[in-house]
A and B are shown apart, each in its own frame.
Chain A
Amino acid sequence: MPRTSRFEGRLLIAPLTAFLIALLGFPLVLDIIYSISRVGFENIRAPEPIGLSNYAKAIADPEFWAAAWFSLRFGLIVSVIQVVAGLGLAVFLAPLFAKRPWLIALLMLPMMVAPALVGLMYRLILHEFVGAVPYYLLEWYGDFPAFLGRDWAFTTLVVVETLQWTPFALLILHSSYAAISPDVREAAALDGARGRRLFLNIDLPLMMPAIGITFFIRFIDSFRVFDNLYTLVGPGAGGSTTSMSIYIYQAFFKVGDIGLAVAASMLLLVASFVVLWVINGLTARKAPL
Chain B
Amino acid sequence: MRKPLVNALRWLVFIAAVVILNFPVIATLVTSLKSEAEIMTNASLFIEAPTLDNYAAVFAMADRFDILHFLTNSLVASLIGSVLAIALAFPAAYAMARFGVGRSWLLPLAVNLRAVPLIIFAIPIYLMYQQVGLLDTRFGLALILCLVNVPLVLVLFASSIADLPLEIEEAGRVDGAGTLRLLVYVVAPMSLNVVAASSVLAFIYSWNEFLFGLMLTTNSATPVSVGASFFFAASGGGVRWGVAAAVMILATLPPLILGLLMYRQIGRSMTAGAVKG
Contact = CB atoms under 8 A, between A and B. Distances in A.
29 contacts: A5-B99, A6-B101, A8-B95, A10-B101, A12-B179, A13-B101, A16-B88, A30-B124, A34-B124, A44-B130, A45-B131, A92-B10, A105-B259, A107-B18, A110-B24, A111-B270, A117-B208, A117-B251, A120-B248, A124-B27, A132-B27, A132-B31, A132-B45, A175-B271, A213-B274, A217-B274, A227-B211, A227-B225, A262-B124
From DSSP, what is the main secondary structure of chain B's interface residues? Answer: helix
B13 A92 contact: yes
A34 B17 CA distance: 48
A71 B11 CA distance: 36
Nearest to B241: A130
Contact of B88 (A5, A15, A111, A249): A15
A19 interface: yes
Interface in B197-240: 204, 207-211, 214-215, 225-226, 228-229, 232
Given A89-B17, A106-B18, A120-B248, A268 B117 contact: yes
A114 B210 contact: yes
Interface string A72-109: 00000000000000000100110110000111111111
Interface of A: 1, 5-6, 8-10, 12-13, 15-17, 19-20, 23-24, 26-28, 30-31, 34, 44-45, 89, 92-93, 95-96, 101-118, 120-125, 127, 129-136, 163-164, 166-168, 171-172, 175, 210, 213-214, 217, 220, 223-224, 226-227, 230-231, 244-245, 248-249, 252-253, 258, 261-262, 265-266, 268-269, 272, 275-276, 279
Contacts, number: 286
Nearest to B87: A15
B211 A107 contact: no
Contact of B23 (A20, A26, A125): A125
B244 A31 contact: no
Given A19-B88, A220-B115, A224-B119, 6 more contacts: A8-B179, A93-B13, A114-B225, A213-B277, A226-B119, A249-B215
B172 to A, nearest CB: 14
Interface in B75-121: 87-89, 91-92, 94-96, 98-102, 106, 109, 112-117, 119-121
Interface centre among B106, B115, B209, B211 (most CB of A within 10 A): B115
A115 B208 contact: yes
B92 A16 contact: yes
Contacts of A272: 115-117, 120
A-B complex: 6 closest residue pairs judged by Cβ atoms: A9-B99, A9-B101, A112-B259, A114-B208, A224-B117, A105-B263
Indicate the size class of the contact surface on chain B: 35 or more
B174 interface: no
Nearest to A121: B24
